Amino acid sequence: MRDALVAAALRLFDERGFEQTTVDDIVALAGVGRRSFFRYFPSKESVVFPDHDGCLAEMNAFLADPAGAAEDPVERAGAAARLVLRMYAADPVFSVRRYRLTREVPALRAHELSAVWRYERALADYLRSRYAHRPDGRLRADVVAAAVVAAHNNALRSWLRSGAERDPEASVTEALAYVVATWGDQAPVPAGPTARGEEADGADGAEEVREGEEVVVLVARRGTPMWRVVDEIQAALSAT
Amino acid sequence: MRDALVAAALRLFDERGFEQTTVDDIVALAGVGRRSFFRYFPSKESVVFPDHDGCLAEMNAFLADPAGAAEDPVERAGAAARLVLRMYAADPVFSVRRYRLTREVPALRAHELSAVWRYERALADYLRSRYAHRPDGRLRADVVAAAVVAAHNNALRSWLRSGAERDPEASVTEALAYVVATWGDQAPVPAGPTARGEEADGADGAEEVREGEEVVVLVARRGTPMWRVVDEIQAALSAT
């Protein structure tokens, strides 16, 4: 019955437009009562997004699984975001119709933004717990969650725009790898504003060595004397 | 009259609740006609966010100004985002009331998400044009725009949660600097998935030297032989 309601709603939204269709029209076409509609969907908007609540629950369960604790936090968040991709990819024809409708109807756009926001909050909450030991933990969690969602949606939307014909997994993998390369545990550590440009610490060229878990990142102003660079990097490479 | 409508609406939303207040109630309290309301505001939600349209127009004008073309794209996007902060900071008491109301009323939350989305699209469009020469330009633009918005909002929301008593500029500056340090022109270039961990290019430890405009960034696996590091960095520091 749920599927019949979704199919009837989409057909009417396509034919008459979203605003011109009432819940009564939908239940009449689906051949069910009005109360049945509201048993499944809180609003006319939500019938267009029947699977977001289930997908969010699945994402939260995935993120709560202790098996993920050993994984890079950004990779884990990316894997969680892929659950959304799989939901879209499970029914490409429906996903493309919805994408076109959502671009045209502000009420649906607003509903979709709420769904995206809930996913982003789930990822940010997860990352806040993974980054709880970092002084910049909350900020980093919010920024990385937004970056994961933006990368995922960039690839998802390209796929939907193109008519969802090829397999979307590869382009989402590539987009998420971009975020992991920047923010993952093995990414280079940003130099931070104090090591940049004019504010750098010394007239003879600034250098700074920061340490990740397995890599050492050295940021040096061009023209820094070689002996200073070697000193710094030797200290960093031998540190444990 | 516009200000009187906003004041009347906020007072009624606080006293009776958003859902229980009608546009008729608002115009009655403000002492104006119903048509005056809709001359200023398209909906009951939008009266709570009277300045977003103006701020978005200001942001677009700022981003279109050719004077910004010489600036780091991420710094410029961050400076554009600060226009939103300044709008909030211009009236802290109103901003805190609205923040509390928005957290409680789903319709206002949805309206706010739409506003955030429009700012993020403006920043992403700007960054797409600045990154037009890059093969990863569209993806990078979307990710950086999301990161700028997330960092800005992290600081903005902390300030609103705390009652908006101190000056918010410093914490927003710090949050945006975090994104500039990661994605700005002078940030270290991420090593990319192929240079990370087990996939790195060589059993004796991977190293890689990339060049920014004024700084040289070296990323080396811990344990890399010193002679290889010196070779690479010497080549990079002497390059022009």
Q: What is the CATH number of the domain that holds B6?
A: 1.10.10.60
Closest CA to A4 of A35, A51, A36, A46: A36
A142 and A28 both lie in a single domain: no
Say whether both B31 and B16 belong to one domain: yes
For residue A34, the one-letter residue type is: R
Residue A60 to residues A56, A124, B150, Cα–Cα distance (Å): 6, 11, 21
Secondary structure (3-state) at A213: coil
* Domain assignment of residue B87, yes or no: yes
Going from the first residue of chain A to its last (240 residues), give the mean pLDDT of each consecutive group of 10, the final group possibly shorter.
92 93 95 92 92 95 95 97 96 93 92 95 98 95 98 96 91 94 81 37 39 53 60 60
Contact B84, B155 (CB under 8 A): no
| Residue A232 tokens, joined | 């710094």
Q: Is residue A57 domain-shared with residue A176, that is, in the same domain?
A: yes
- pLDDT above 90: residue B82: yes
Q: Which of A113, A178, A216 sits opposite B136 (nearest CB)?
A: A178
Q: Chain B within 8 Å of A48 (Cβ-Cβ)? A: no
Same domain? For A33 and A58 the reply is: no
Q: Which helix (H) or strand (E) is B218 found in, with range?
A: strand B215-221
What average pLDDT score do residues B167-174 get?
93
A72 and A140 inside one domain: yes
Show Cβ contacts of residue B125 under 8 Å, excluding neighbours closer than 6 positions. B141
Residue A207 CB-density burial (10 A; 0-12 exposed, 13-18 middle, 19+ buried):
buried
Question: Measured between CB atoms, does B135 come within 8 Å of chain A?
Answer: no
Tell me the residue range of the domain where B59 lies: 49-183
Using CA atoms, how far apart are residues B53 and B33, in angstroms rounded to an integer? Answer: 23
Q: Please tell me the predicted confidence (pLDDT) of residue A205.
A: 40
Any idea which residue has 């509390």 for tokens? Answer: B100
Interface test with A, best of B71, B136, B215, B226 (most A CBs within 10 A): B215
Q: Computed from CA positions of residues B150, B151, B156, B157, in that sequence, does the dihedral angle turn out positive or negative? A: positive
Contact (CB<8Å) A147/B146 = yes
Task: Work out whether the CA dihedral A191, A197, A199, A203 comes out positive or negative.
Answer: positive
Q: With bands split at pLDDT 50, 70 and 90, how would you rate the model's confidence at B202?
A: very low
How do residues A31-62 score in pLDDT, each as one tens digit?
999 999 999 998 999 999 999 999 999 999 99
What pLDDT band is residue B165 in, cutting at 50, 70 and 90? confident
> Token pair for residue A121?
């909050």
Q: Do A174 and A77 fall within a single domain?
A: yes
Contact list, A197 vs chain B (CB under 8 Å): 186, 214
Cα(B189)–Cα(B207) distance, integer angstroms: 13
Rg (CA), chain A: 24
Give the mean pLDDT of chain B. Answer: 84
Residues A204, A220, single domain; the answer is: yes
Say whether B222 and A215 touch across the interface (CB within 8 A).
yes
* A183 touching B (Cβ < 8 Å): yes
CB within 8 Å of chain A, chain B residues 159-178: 175, 177-178
Whether A111 and A168 share a structural domain: yes
As a whole-number percent, the residues of chain B with pLDDT over 70 amount to 78
Whether residue B9 lies within 8 A of chain A, CB to CB, comes out as: no
User: Which candidate from B142, B221, B229 shows the least CB-CB separation from A154?
Assistant: B142
Claim to verify: residue B146 and residue B88 sit in the same structural domain: yes
The answer to whether residue A188 sits within a structural domain is: no
Q: In the predicted model, what is the mean pLDDT of residues B199-211?
A: 38
In chain A, what is the straight-line distance between the N-terminal and C-terminal CA atoms, in Å? 62
Asked if residue A223 and residue A199 are part of one domain, the reply reads yes
Q: What is the DSSP letter of B190?
A: P
Q: Residue A79: CB partners within 8 Å, gap ≥ 6? A: A62, A68, A71
Q: What ipTM is given for this predicted complex?
A: 0.77
Residue A90 C-alpha from the chain's centroid: 18
Count how many domains chain B has: 3
- Is B188 contained in some domain? no
Domain co-membership, A87 together with A105? yes
pLDDT, one tens digit per residue, over B103-144 is 999 889 999 999 999 999 999 999 999 999 999 999 999 999
Is a pLDDT exceeding 90 seen at residue B240?
no
Are A89 and A163 in the same domain? yes
Higher pLDDT, B217 or A98: A98
